[in-house]
Structure 1
Amino acid sequence: MPRCTPIPVSLTDKERTQLEALVRQHTTAQQLATRARIILAADAGTGVHETAATLQVSRSLVQRWRRRWRERADHPVLERLSDNPRSGTPPTFTPEQICAIIALACEPAVREGVKLARWTHEDLAEEAKARGIVDAISAHSIGRFLREVDLKAHRVQGWINTPRDGDFAERCRDVCETYRLAPERAAEGIETRSIDEMTGVQALERAAPTQSVRPGRL
């Protein structure tokens, strides 16, 4: 049986703190946490076989991430634990654009000032281009984005239409940027939490009159 030669790893105090923070974070992806544990074990002097047995991973995986950690010595901690960039076409649409398209699908179906019976993927694609959300997009891409969030635009119907937030684009950018920075902040021991701002608010009066139940409806 070939012998696994340990690749020595020595961490700075800052690197060790960041790796330990990644392991503690409940939001850290399991794959990333496992890699952090491999490096921490190497720094503690734990051998390849023992690390693999403890973490229930292959010895080759332990060797690979020890090697990559050393090869990426001039990179930030999170990049040293990340997969190599994959080949292929980069993403065409930004998270902000996708959020704007999903928000559009939740609005009343109106295209170029004309009220529609319902949104179709083709109508949403044309309206997204008309509003400048994207330069070009296909109905197929619209359908894919809506399926990913389990949204059926033709079944969205509100009985009180809330005006669109004028600051939607800016707030959307802030939220997307927060999600993008969350892994990097987690590596530095900074937690990112989502909190409902108005959990204690109760409706004291209705904004619209009560409607009677139609026959056959509950």
Structure 2
Amino acid sequence: MITLTACERRRLKKIATSYTAGYQLVVRIRIVLDAAHGYSSNTIARRRGVTVDTVRLWRGRYRSQEGIKSLTDRPRSGRPPTFSPLQRAEIKALACRPPAETGVPLSRWSCPDLAREAVTREMAPAISASTVRRILAEDTLKPWQHQSWIFIRDPAFAAKAARVLDLYARRWDDLPLGDDEYVISADEKTSIQARCRCHPTLPRARRG
């Protein structure tokens, strides 16, 4: 059984109910919280939709290692991604455009067609259909599957996307941002335009 302090329990519950925490981390934290409540590994596995071995792994790591730090993924070795964020964005942007707009005589894109077109447009020296499929599968939103989507037609898309992607990576003009520099993203609220009011706010009406 795992024993948690009041501070640990509050911190774990806060992350477990967060909308920004990763799904895998939330599941692992809920496994630990269930274990702290005294549930067996079999019961936790049924509650969380995972295998018993997964439950044993994460409750064991939490109990024997550095608490919440043990629930994050360890660094993995391996070669870096072959395609840059900009190349991935360009391929997704190409998938959002109807083939007819690019001069390709197709009614809809396939991954092999996209791979050939990406090489033709020099987005990458070479790319396979399976790699294109993986890049498109990364996104939860898939605008290329919806007819009502606003397709990207900006000829300066690559330059504009590169600036945004660099900021996501905390870089500007090929220099890393400092510890006291922050990137803030803001957008208009759905159905509410970000503009000044035309008329002053009216006082509350009196009830008769």
Query: TM-score scaled by structure 1?
Result: 0.49
CA–CA distance in 1 between the matches of 2:23 and 2:46? 11
- Give me the whole-angstrom Cα distance separating, in 1, the residues matched to 2:116 and 2:64: 50
Secondary structure of the 2:83 match is: coil
Which protein has greater RCO, CA pairs closer than 8 Å, 6+ apart? 1
Seq. identity, %: 29
The change in CA–CA distance for 1:53 and 1:172 in structure 2 (over 3 A counts) is closer
By how many angstroms is 1:83 displaced?
A: 5.4
Q: CA deviation at 1:69?
A: 1.3
| 1:48–1:63 Cα contact (<8 Å) kept | no
Aligned length: 167
Aligned residue identity for 1:66 = R
CA distance in 1, matches of 2:151, 2:164: 25
Residue of structure 1 equivalent to 2:47: 56
How far residue 68 of structure 1 moved from its aligned partner, in angstroms, is 0.9
Q: What are structure 1's unaligned runs of at least 5 residues?
A: 1-5, 179-191, 202-218
The runs of 4+ residues in structure 1 deviating greater than 6 Å are 84-90, 155-160
Do the aligned partners of 2:143 and 2:149 also contact (CA within 8 Å) in 1? no
Q: Go from structure 1 to structure 2 and tell me whether the alpha carbon gap of 1:55 and 1:174 turns closer, same or farther (over 3 Å shift).
A: farther
Give the one of 126, 129, 132 matched to 1:142: 132
Q: Provide the rounded CA distance (Å) in 2 between the counterparts of 1:23 and 1:93.
A: 33
* CA displacement 1:55-78 (0-9 Å, x = unmatched): 7257665443221113441xx83x
Alpha-carbon distance between aligned partners in 2 of 1:35 and 1:11, rounded to the nearest angstrom: 18
Partner of 2:177: none
Question: Is the 1:9–1:66 Cα contact (8 Å) retained in structure 2?
Answer: no
1:172 aligned to which of 139, 162, 165: 165
Superposition RMSD in Å: 5.0
Kindly indicate whether residue 89 of structure 2 is the aligned counterpart of residue 99 of structure 1: yes
Alignment of 1:1-218 (within 5 A): 6=1, 8-10=2-4, 13=7, 15-28=8-21, 31-42=24-35, 46-49=37-40, 52=43, 56=47, 61-73=54-66, 77=68, 79-82=69-72, 91-106=81-96, 120-127=113-120, 130-131=122-123, 134-143=124-133, 145-146=135-136, 149=142, 151=144, 161-165=153-157, 166-175=159-168, 177=169, 195-196=187-188, 199-201=191-193
Per the alignment, do residues 102 and 63 of structure 1 end up closer, same or farther by CA in structure 2, a change over 3 Å counting? closer
Per-residue deviation at 1:40? 3.5
Which ranges of structure 2 fall in alignment gaps of 5 or more residues?
171-183, 194-208
- In structure 2, the CA distance between the partners of 1:195 and 1:55, relative to structure 1 (3 Å rule), is farther
- Indicate how the Cα distance of structure 1 residues 50 and 158 shifts in structure 2: closer, same or farther if over 3 A, else same: closer
Label 1:51 to 1:146 Cα distance change in 2 as closer, same or farther (>3 A).
closer
